Chain A
Amino acid sequence: MAHVPAELLYTKSHEWVQFTGETTARVGITDFAQNSLGDIVFVNLPAEGDGVTAGEAACDVESVKAVADIVSPVTGTVTAANNDLESAPEKLNESPYEAWIFEVSDISDREELLDAAAYEAFCATEEA
């Protein structure tokens, strides 16, 4: 069973969000996501200043034989990208909840987000 920290919020496309303030948040991918993608070999990070829209792709991650969009859970402006992932994409596999991908501020909108229990239940249906 994939690890689902209680303090985060989740999307049905398997991103996690951590609100760090009223209108700021960090975004990453879940344990379930990294597990189904397999070994991640590259992260196409968004650039600082990029606008992102809730429910739309903000960037993507690559495994050897697949590419997956990272859907932004919120609408806002990218204030930081985790540049460590450029040289160490494997961190997304090793510790997905520490390896955040980007930070957003000026959040004006958000997707419908799940809490840990709801997300866990959702993953169970995906696995089935």
Chain B
Amino acid sequence: MGGYIPSTRSERAEMLRAIGLEKPEELFASVPEALRVKKLDLEPGLSELALFREMRGVAAKNRVYRSIFRGAGAYNHYIPAVVGAVTSKETFVTAYTPYQAEMSQGVLQSIFEYQTMICELTGMDVSNASVYDGATAAAEAVNMLVDAKRRVALISEGVHPMTLETARTYAFGADVEIRTIPLKDGRTDMEALASLLNKDVACVLLQSPNYFGLVEDGETVAKIVHENRSKFILSVNPIACALYKTPGEVGADVAVGEGQPLGMPLSFGGPYLGFMATTKALMRKLPGRIVGETTDDRGERAFVLTLQAREQHIRREKASSNICSNQALCAMTAAVYMAAMGETGLREVARQCHAKAAYLRGELARIGFAPLHEGPFFHEFVTACPAGKDELVSALAEKGILAGLPVDGGILWCATEMNSRADIDELIAAIGEVLA
């Protein structure tokens, strides 16, 4: 009974006879003999218990840190129990894309609720149903904004390096030119930005808080970008959105970001969630699925996938994006997380992240890890490292602590609501021991 096939061998023989065949091989008569696989070079199949033991053993080869001070694009947050309880529901886990609206209202409504929450969080008018992750959201935003005349995208060097590289790779495909905007004291250099803008520039991408944790001056960027009749893409941390000016408030045309902090575990980098929202004016350029509200033939509220003529299954080679499957269950995860937290709870997560980071920054400075940059930061920051970075990180690892990420010039630290004061004090003491 391999392969989760219910029918027994004798049933299968009867079914074969019913269609006028004798041997299963006859089903593959159209496959040329030369192509037939004799036997796959794989191990024999495992029973469930054997598989359980095997995979538990594989998982045990990973180190799971009890204390994490590393972010850099993947953040350790508390996930309320209700989140997993909802998103592990059989039907949500196994349903396909809600093409058949009549039997998919539950999935469609949950996406509509998610879209509403993303709009609230980012201050934008329209959200799609998700894309793969924060990096692809940024790359899709660039593709969405270039046109026949404007083929250049400016990207700040404060954007996560993996996002920058993803945008570059997408640009290689779409024959778009990427130029980077240098930093000054850890933040995007406004003078450099102004000098790079010209009539070829379709859009400008910044991240705030940026890769080094610093809050960018989005309002000034929006102003100078719009004076050039270019569009402004702002990549944000969704938790920070609860406290800081939203992309909508600073005047961004497209808001994108990595939604992992909204209830998704670290899980070695995925599955995560790319969120993407824009203004009403750009609504029809937004890639990906979008759910809309309408009525049914009885006049009742109903939800459907809408504006589908933008998408690949209709527009084919003229579609601006090929995205089909997205990260729907991750979008639902984010929605349940935000609903569980509410405004008060989400603002509290953000407040605690910021306060713990400030405390950590002060404590590190006290023992000789001077901050590299001044200016406002959210929950990450870079410090100098008075000792060998790699040696320090390894020594802390032995104590069960995942230190900040070694970067050019120092270490990129992160604190969240998960790092208690005791954890931070322990880290400081442990560093002291290592340095001694």
Contact = CB atoms under 8 A, between A and B. Distances in A.
The answer to whether A and B touch in the complex, with CB atoms under 8 Å apart, is: yes
Interface of A: 41-42, 44, 62-67
B315 interface: yes
B318 A67 contact: yes
B27 to A, nearest CB: 34
B198 to A, nearest CB: 20
Of the candidates A42, A62, A66, the one having the most CB atoms from chain B within 10 angstroms of its own CB is A62
A66 B318 CA distance: 12
B309 interface: yes
B314 interface: yes
Interface of B: 284, 307-309, 314-315, 318
A64 B308 contact: yes
B293 to A, nearest CB: 15
Contacts of A65: 308-309, 314
A106 B318 CA distance: 29
18 contacts: A41-B309, A42-B284, A42-B307, A42-B309, A44-B284, A62-B309, A63-B309, A64-B308, A64-B309, A65-B308, A65-B309, A65-B314, A66-B309, A66-B314, A67-B309, A67-B314, A67-B315, A67-B318
For the complex of A and B, 6 pairs with smallest distance between CB atoms: A62-B309, A67-B309, A67-B315, A67-B314, A66-B314, A65-B314
Given A41-B309, A65-B308, 6 more contacts: A44-B284, A63-B309, A65-B314, A66-B309, A67-B314, A67-B315
A87 to B, nearest CB: 12
A contacts with B: majority SS: strand
Contacts of A41: 309
Nearest to A66: B314
Contacts of A42: 284, 307, 309
A48 to B, nearest CB: 15
Of the candidates B284, B309, B315, B318, the one having the most CB atoms from chain A within 10 angstroms of its own CB is B309
A49 to B, nearest CB: 12
A67 B307 CA distance: 11
Contacts of A64: 308-309
Nearest to B319: A67
Contacts of A66: 309, 314
Contacts of B315: 67
Nearest to B306: A64
A11 B314 CA distance: 24
A67 B314 CA distance: 7
Nearest to A61: B309
Contacts of B307: 42
A68 to B, nearest CB: 10
Contacts of A62: 309
Contacts of B314: 65-67
Contacts of B318: 67
A72 to B, nearest CB: 16
B283 to A, nearest CB: 10
A62 B307 CA distance: 9
A87 B318 CA distance: 24
Contacts of B284: 42, 44
A66 B309 CA distance: 6
A74 B264 CA distance: 55
A35 B140 CA distance: 35
A66 B284 CA distance: 15
A62 B308 CA distance: 9
A19 B307 CA distance: 34
Contacts of A63: 309
A63 B307 CA distance: 9
Nearest to B315: A67
Contacts of B309: 41-42, 62-67
Nearest to A68: B309
